Structures are given as C-alpha cells and as structure tokens.
Structure 1
Amino acid sequence: MTPGWHAEHTPDKPAIVLASSGEVVTYAELEDRSVRFARALRARGLDVGDHIAIVLENHRAFLEVTWAAQRSGLHYTAVNRHLRPSEVQYVLDDCGAVAIVSSEELAEVVSGLDTSRLRARISVGGELPGFERYDDVMAAESSEPLADECEGREMLYSSGTTGRPKGVRKPLPATPLGDPSAPPVMIAQGLLATGAAEGAVYLSPAPLYHAAPLVFSMSWQRLGATVVVMENFDPAACLQAIQRYRVTHGQFVPTMFVRMLRLPKEQREGYDVSSLRTVVHAAAPCPIAVKRQMIDWWGPIIHEYYSGTEDIGTSFITPQEWLEHPGSVGRPMNECHIVGADGEEAPVGEEGIIYFAGGRPFEYHNDPAKTASISNEKGWRTLGDVGRLDADGYLYLTDRAAHMIISGGVNIYPQEAENVLAGHPDVADVAVIGVPDEEMGEAVKAVVQLSDPAMASDEVAAALIAWCRGELASYKCPRTVDFVDELPRDPSGKLYKRLLREKYWEGHDSRI
C-alpha cells in the first residue's frame, strides 16, 4: 500500500489537489518527486533514523516531502507555521533535526533561525538565503527508488496550549515500504475496514502540520484516493470545495462545523454536498446542539473518534450510535478505566480521569519524567482528560483536568458551559475560564466572540448568562462575560486557553 502502486496502475489520477488554486499533482508525479527528494536527502547525509523538520504552509510540496521522508526511513516533524522564530528554534533543537524544508512565504520566520548545524536547508516555491531550491535539488537526482526504502514515521509536537510543546516520539518501523506490519500501513488498512471505497475524494481542510490531517491524508493516498487540500480554512470555500471536487470523505473539527453553520442559511444551503459519504470529526469536544444541526444538514454520515497524537487509546462512534447516546465519543476500542480522585476505579456513571490500558508505545522526546507521569501504578496511561462511562460502555468527555476551575472548593469543568453557550444563535465562538476572585479563589468567566461584534453590550452578556442558567446549575455558569473580536485558536480550531488565562492572571498566583 504505497503511492507507487497507484503511480504504476493509475499514473494520471490526481493524488493532490489544492482546493483554491486547483493545482494538481498526479500519482505519477507524487511518486517521481518523492523518490527524487528521498535521494536528495540521502545524498546530503540523511540516513535511516535521522530527522527532518518541515516548516511549510499547505503547499503542493508538503505531501511530496513527507512521502520522501516516509520512504527513506526518517523521522519527520511538521512544525506549526504560526509559531514565532524562537518557538520554531526550540522544536528544531529539541527534535534534533538535521534538515529543514521551508518556503519563501515563511521567510520572516525562517530568517530568524539558526540553521548552521543542519546538513540540508531547502526552500520550495522561491528563494531563501542559504537554502537550496527544491526544484533544483530534485532535478539533479534520479527517479530510481532507493535500494533500501523503508517506512519512516512522523514525530509531531503537542500544540503547547499549556506550556512548551513536547515531541511525541513513536518507534520507527524501518520495515520495507508498504509492509503491512508498519503502523502507518495499518491505519490505511483500518480505513479500508471502515468502508473506504474506490473513487474516494478526501478533503483535508486543516493545516497539514497537525497529526490527523497529515496522517489521514497520507493514509488515503496509500489507498489511491484524491486528497483535496485547503490552503486555508474558510467556511464558504470549504462548501465550495465539496461541491467542486465532489468530495466523498472528510475530516473536520467542531469549530469548522460552527463556522459553516453560522453562514447565512440561504448561502450554505446553496451548495451541493450530496457527494459526501462519510465525515469524521475529532480533536475537540463537539457541542450536542452543533452536531445535531450538522446531522440534520448533512445526514447521518458524521462519525466521531476520540484519541490523541500519543495513540494510547481510541474510541469511535457512528452517527446512528450517537443519536442514541448524544454527547458520547463512543465505545473505547481498547481497555478503558475511569479513575477517581482516590486513585481507585470509579463506578459506572461517575466522573474521573480517563485511563487506557494497552495502546501503542511512545515517549515524550527528551522528557522521561513527563512520559512516566502519564502512567499509574497499574501501567494504565492517560491524556489528562476527564470523563465517564455509561452502563452500555459508552465514553463521555467532561473536560481536560488542566482546564478545571476550582471556585469555593467546588470543581467546575468549563466545557459544560461552553457547550451550552455555543448553542446560542448569537455566539460564534466561546471559551470559559477561571479568573481571580478574592472570595472564591476563581470565578467562572465566559469570553465570547459574537456573530456580530457590534451587538456586544451588558444586556447581551446578561442574556447569555441567563441562557446558560436555563440549562445548568448556576455555579457552573459564568458570573461575567467579556467580548472579543476573535478567540486565540490555531487554524485547526485548537483553543489556546493559556493565552486567555494569562491576560486575567497577570499579577496573581495561578495554579496553572
């Protein structure tokens, strides 16, 4: 299961399509370019087990480069292109990269980096001082595959929403390219098992530097699908891409659902989305009201999974199951335990930290203490999420333990209020956090982005608080509301709560 097989049998089939520009890379071209670039990296001293960093926008070359690394037995780290130079430098140094691929578009970031120790510095789409040009590098190489092609592995970094990002390092397969025992091949086999069909067109609307967009895009290409990559997410452009390219499969995050639902009804209903067969969402909890609206719109084709880059445990739920268990993220696919504050397993229906037994091996790169910290004495591992299991074995997420608010000694998980407020028709985005309070320690505050920022007022704030109290106990609801033009999210929809909290906790002692 490699692009090479499809290059041989369907050479002219599009492997990559850039949604806005319409630029196409065929399977023959993907095979040729990834082979040539793999040879170029080997010629510059990169061998099996070495590490390459990719600092790129969603560019045609992104998947060409990752496939070159994948077939060369390399670790490859796709770096968030929105990071500051000092943050990118930290990732470069921490992962031990010996090569970097970037672009002229990111010159402002790259020019501030110390790349003197790297063996290879390569720029796609334009000139960068001290960098070789991508097309020139490939043109000098043969299109004959390396004799020792073997499976590499991504090593991606956490988002850094609560501190320094950490590299999630998984064992390098180093098995022959396409070997069915390699985890990347097994992911593609899993897609086949869940109904991936011939003629699939997969939409990747998120940045490729994130785990799911990158891994799933490459997995679909192992199956010969056309991968449509959005350069940047825009709700109307997303619907247009689905219609234009007759997209059959896609993966989204809840923020994208919200943004599409907030389009004027006549606009969003003007797009033909009938080609969609299966949609998956993950990465963040989806408010029940939002998912119901999406199922009403797109039909019962929206599946959900819960997992993490660490891959210690996974749950999955079909739309039919979700309609019977609204709010659930499905039945765990490996052994799952809910552990209470006393360290003991909690009874059915009670909340606690979610632990998994089994899962794939990994380590936090250069941080054995953090690696050890996620395991308990039974060897179960956790991502730090809080949840519960119902009597039927379905898992429900409450929130991350790190986001918990302690007000007057009471534990409050802000996701509950966020889910309620996200269902208000005037709310485009919302975050609920704890802020300093002399009497209670922390008070619950909602930071809201309105669909129409001009509506911001004390009256609207009061109405939002009342809306929340109509669904939840008052102690779980915000006491105050602040309005912002935009919440600090990365392009994949992940919220940087740390940045919000810093504003309110400056000059105060914060427990996080």
Structure 2
Amino acid sequence: MERGDAFAVVLPNGVEFFTAYLAASQAGFYLVPVNHHLVGPEIAWIVSDSGAKVLIAHERFAVTARQAADEADLPAAHRYAVGAIDGFRPYAELLDGHPESAPPDRTLGWVMNYTSGTTGRPRGIRRPLPGKPSEQAYLGGFLGIFGIKPFDDNVHLACSPLYHTAVLQFAGASLHIGHRLVLMDKWTPEEMLRLIDAHRCTHTHMVPTQFHRLLALPEHIRRSYDVSSMRHAIHGAAPCPDHVKRAMIDWWGHCVEEYYAASEGGGAFATAEDWLKKPGTVGRAWPISELAVFDDDGNRLPPGQLGTVYLKMNTGGFAYHKDEAKTRKNRIGDFFTVGDLGYLDEDGCLFLRDRKTDVIISGRVNIYPAEIESALLAHPAVADAATFGIPHDDWGEEVKAVVEPAPGHEPGPTLATSLLAHCAPSRRLQTAQEHRLHHGDAPRPQRQALQATPA
C-alpha cells in the first residue's frame, strides 16, 4: 500500500478496530469502516467503490466478508481475518516484523466513512490528506467544543458501533488526548450503567433510542448504579423527544448535552442549560462551523423562517467519492446540506423539524414524522417507533407508524387502539395542527395524524 490508498474493516468494537484506525492515521491511508450488519453485496460495493486494497474482517462476519471479498475481486493475499475465515490470512501477519522505532516519512491519514445511502447507493466522504506528520495534527482537539479536556481523569465509554462516524471520532479523539477507553461490544441499558459505575466513566456518545431504553428500566435497577461520574453524555444523530430529554436531565443531571452534525462536517452544540432555556434547540454553531437556512430558490432566510439547513466547515471541504454531481448538488457556495429542515432564532440557536425527504404531504399539509414518533414514544408500551407516508387516493399520502412494543406489552388491536387514544390529545400534534390552521392549510381530523395497523 502507498500513501492515499484505502483499506476496509468489518470488525466489532475491539482493540483491532483501534489498531486499524491508528495505523491509517500514522501511515497516510484511508480507513474505510464498514457496517457489519450489511449483507455481502453491500459490503462488496463499499470495498470496490472505495478502492480498498485490503479487507480485514472478524470471524463473526465470515460468511458476508468472504462473499464480499469474492464479489469485489479482492486478491486472496489481501484478505485478513481476526480469527479464522476460509481463504483469509491470519491477522497476526499484519503485526509481525515491524521495527520498534517509528518509521520515517509518516504522514497523516484519515477515515473515509460511507453515508447511510437513504437514496441510492452509499457514497464515501473523502477529505484531502494534508501530507504532514500526524503529530502536527491535534486529532483530539474537536472535543474542546464540548468542554472535554485532555487527561483530567477522563474515561470515554464507546457504547455504539465504531463504524459510525461520530462514535469513532469521539473515541479516537479521546484516545489521542490521553483518555482511558471502555468499549462495549454489544449495548444493553443495564450493562451500560454497570460500566459507568465500575469504571467511573466521564463521557460518552449516545443516541436518543438509548436514552429511551435506559428510562424504560425498572426504577430499582436505575437507582442501583452510580452515574455521578458522568460529565458529558453527548447525544445526536436523531431527534430526541422533549419528554425523554427532560427525564434524562432529571436523572443524570446537566451532563446531558446535544449536538447536530453530519458525517460531511460542521455542526451545532447545546448544553443542558442551553436546552432548558430553549427546549428543542440543538444549539449554536461550533466555533469551526457556520449554520444557515435557505429556501428552495437558494435565498438565505432570516431568523424564524423554516427552510433547509446548511452547514459550512471552516477547516476544509470534502467531496463525495466518485460522485461530483452529488457533491455539487448539495452546495450553495461553501455551504452544504444533508436535507434537514429547520430554522434559526434571533440568537443563532438551531431548531430542527425533520429530514426534508421524510416530510409527509397529506391534503396539502406538511406532516413531520418526528413529531408523531415523539408522541408515540411517550407511551409506556412503546420501545421504539418509526413513522412514514404511504400513497392514498384522496389525501395523496397517509401516515403509517410501525411500533416495537416494550417488554411485557403484546402487539395487536388493543395496543393499536390504546396508541390512537394516546396520540389524539397529544400536545405535540395539537401544536402542529394549530400551526397548520394558523398558516391557512386545510384542517384535517386529528385522528388522521396516525393510522394504526397491527403488525
């Protein structure tokens, strides 16, 4: 391999993942983390598209890794396995024969994440390599945005898969500034509490679903673990219902903080104090980033007006690998968007509504799935929920929701009826309805906001 080359990994959370990450950053390579839940052809696409010259896989994912390597025409000598995979060389061979002293001419490498691919195939986010030694780059510096300091007895808990952009960024940055790391192989709510208590963890990166499932634990289990060591429980990646956020702050205190960002770069950050003053905000722009809201004609909107949220990183740009059209399409000048809708208030605080492509248009009315999901998640029988639109002859689209029942609750007509009754008087849905009426949209029966079909 030469500088600028890529290699892919299909690995669980573990030492091998970090060894690959550090090797890439020291040798001027691109590390391509692959979601190990993908099937063989999907992994093959990422390996081929990224130009990865080597694939390192764990034996847990032997079937899909072997299928992907075959489909991507990866030479047998370029396949390595942690454990045993037929046709793969032992991972230990990669560690043999290295000099104890640092090799000369090291240059900084980086991570090349692939987008989730909500439309079409996923695309790699590729940033130019600076061509300088890695020690000249303060790789943990961005944690200062969140008030996280080097050393300072910090212990980072990685409680989600490292193939996710933010999870690896937070964990890798923590490692670079002298923090101890605790890695969870598989997340469960009580095990997370146990690890925080046992290792006195100080910061972690989470998603709202984890909050919801922690709060669903019985009270005596929640209270049996000490989480007072936590300084920064930073969440992002999805909207967090207000009642869930408040409950976590009541339990864990003001360590519960929120950010909004994209794999492409840029973002906003809100402390617990910021959010309590302005419930629903995801914060103000990072010092290294800018935020703006534009309408569909590319006009920048003033505070309070809903539009498409755009971001800009002041530290450098990016391109979608092998997709110049997509790179240009999502830009207005130096700003880019991932398609979220929102508005900025007079203080520069960002409030999100939903992903533009997720908005359901029913009877000329914009319906935001995140609002309905928030209402559903407030029901004690709901562990998780997803809302989407399907075609309807009269309305254009109607709303459907898929619900995962919480433990102890059975799916069926009784639960569906209970959920409809719960959502009918929902403050969130009432507010949305009042907003539509205020702006002259056609009124709709409140019950139209949710159609329940047992599944």
Please give the TM-score of this superposition, normalised by the length of structure 2.
0.90
Of residues 17, 28, 31 in structure 2, which corresponds to 1:76?
31
Q: Distance in 2 between matches of 1:215 and 1:358?
A: 16
Q: Distance in 1 between matches of 2:383 and 2:125?
A: 32
Aligned counterpart, 1:480: 451
Q: Distance in 1 between matches of 2:143 and 2:239?
A: 25
Q: Counterpart of 2:20 in structure 1: which amino acid?
A: V
Q: CA deviation at 1:185?
A: 4.8
- The yes-or-no answer on 1:363 pairing with 2:319 is yes
Q: Distance in 2 between matches of 1:97 and 1:178?
A: 25
Correspondences of 1:311-390 after superposition (within 5 Å)? 311=265, 313-333=266-286, 334-359=289-314, 360-376=316-332, 378-390=333-345
Q: How far does the alpha carbon of each residue in 1:87-110 deviate from its partner, in whole angstroms, 9 at most, with x for none? A: 000000000001111121111111
Q: CA deviation at 1:122?
A: 1.4
Instruction: Flag the 1:256–1:102 CA change in 2: closer, same or farther, 3 A.
Output: same
Q: Distance in 2 between matches of 1:158 and 1:93?
A: 15
- The yes-or-no answer on 1:164 pairing with 2:135 is no
What count of residue pairs does the alignment treat as equivalent?
433
Of residues 377, 392, 405 in structure 2, which corresponds to 1:422?
377
Q: Counterpart of 1:269 in structure 2: which amino acid?
A: R
Instruction: Flag structure 1 segments of 5+ consecutive residues without an equivalent.
Output: 1-45, 485-512
Q: How far does the alpha carbon of each residue in 1:408-459 deviate from its partner, in whole angstroms, 9 at most, with x for none? A: 2222111111112212222111111101211111101121112146433334
Aligned counterpart, 1:445: 400
- Residue 150 of structure 2 contacts residue 179 of structure 2 at CA under 8 Å; is this kept in 1? no
Q: Counterpart of 1:90 in structure 2: which amino acid?
A: W
Paired-residue identity, %: 38
Of residues 224, 230, 234 in structure 2, which corresponds to 1:270?
224
Q: Distance in 2 between matches of 1:121 and 1:239?
A: 37
Deviates more, 1:201-210 or 1:240-249: 240-249
Q: Distance in 2 between matches of 1:482 and 1:201?
A: 45
- The yes-or-no answer on 1:220 pairing with 2:191 is no
Q: Distance in 1 between matches of 2:62 and 2:154?
A: 36
Q: CA deviation at 1:188?
A: 5.2
- Look up the SS of the partner of 2:38 in the other structure: coil
Q: CA deviation at 1:189?
A: 5.6
- Residue 55 of structure 2 contacts residue 78 of structure 2 at CA under 8 Å; is this kept in 1? yes
- The yes-or-no answer on 1:310 pairing with 2:264 is yes
Q: Distance in 1 between matches of 2:209 and 2:310?
A: 26
- Residue 448 of structure 1 contacts residue 482 of structure 1 at CA under 8 Å; is this kept in 2? no
Deviates more, 1:353-362 or 1:407-416: 353-362
- Look up the SS of the partner of 2:299 in the other structure: coil
- Look up the SS of the partner of 2:36 in the other structure: coil
Of residues 66, 73, 78 in structure 2, which corresponds to 1:120?
78
Q: CA deviation at 1:176?
A: 0.6
Q: Distance in 2 between matches of 1:244 and 1:195?
A: 22
Q: CA deviation at 1:279?
A: 1.4
Instruction: Flag the 1:303–1:196 CA change in 2: closer, same or farther, 3 A.
Output: farther
- Residue 339 of structure 2 contacts residue 356 of structure 2 at CA under 8 Å; is this kept in 1? yes
Correspondences of 1:12-161 after superposition (within 5 Å)? 46-113=1-68, 114=70, 116-118=73-75, 120-124=78-82, 126-161=83-118
Q: Counterpart of 2:381 in structure 1: which amino acid?
A: D
- Look up the SS of the partner of 2:357 in the other structure: helix
Q: Distance in 2 between matches of 1:420 and 1:341?
A: 29
Deviates more, 1:169-178 or 1:250-259: 169-178
Q: CA deviation at 1:322?
A: 0.7
- Look up the SS of the partner of 1:212 in the other structure: helix
- The yes-or-no answer on 1:243 pairing with 2:243 is no
- Residue 331 of structure 1 contacts residue 395 of structure 1 at CA under 8 Å; is this kept in 2? yes
Q: Distance in 2 between matches of 1:467 and 1:225?
A: 45
Which is bigger in relative contact order (C-alpha 8 A, separation at least 6)?
1
Q: Distance in 2 between matches of 1:167 and 1:219?
A: 21
Q: Distance in 1 between matches of 2:60 and 2:192?
A: 23
Q: Counterpart of 1:290 in structure 2: which amino acid?
A: V
Instruction: Flag the 1:342–1:147 CA change in 2: closer, same or farther, 3 A.
Output: closer
Q: Distance in 2 between matches of 1:357 and 1:131?
A: 42
- The yes-or-no answer on 1:178 pairing with 2:140 is no
Q: Distance in 1 between matches of 2:59 and 2:414?
A: 48
Q: Counterpart of 1:329 in structure 2: which amino acid?
A: V
Q: Distance in 1 between matches of 2:284 and 2:325?
A: 30
Q: Distance in 2 between matches of 1:187 and 1:61?
A: 24
- Residue 381 of structure 2 contacts residue 409 of structure 2 at CA under 8 Å; is this kept in 1? no
Q: CA deviation at 1:357?
A: 4.1
Of residues 275, 278, 282 in structure 1, which corresponds to 2:236?
282
Q: Distance in 2 between matches of 1:291 and 1:189?
A: 23
Q: Counterpart of 2:328 in structure 1: which amino acid?
A: A
Q: Distance in 1 between matches of 2:422 and 2:207?
A: 25
- Residue 54 of structure 2 contacts residue 74 of structure 2 at CA under 8 Å; is this kept in 1? no
Q: CA deviation at 1:148?
A: 1.5
- Look up the SS of the partner of 1:480 in the other structure: coil
Q: Distance in 2 between matches of 1:395 and 1:129?
A: 51
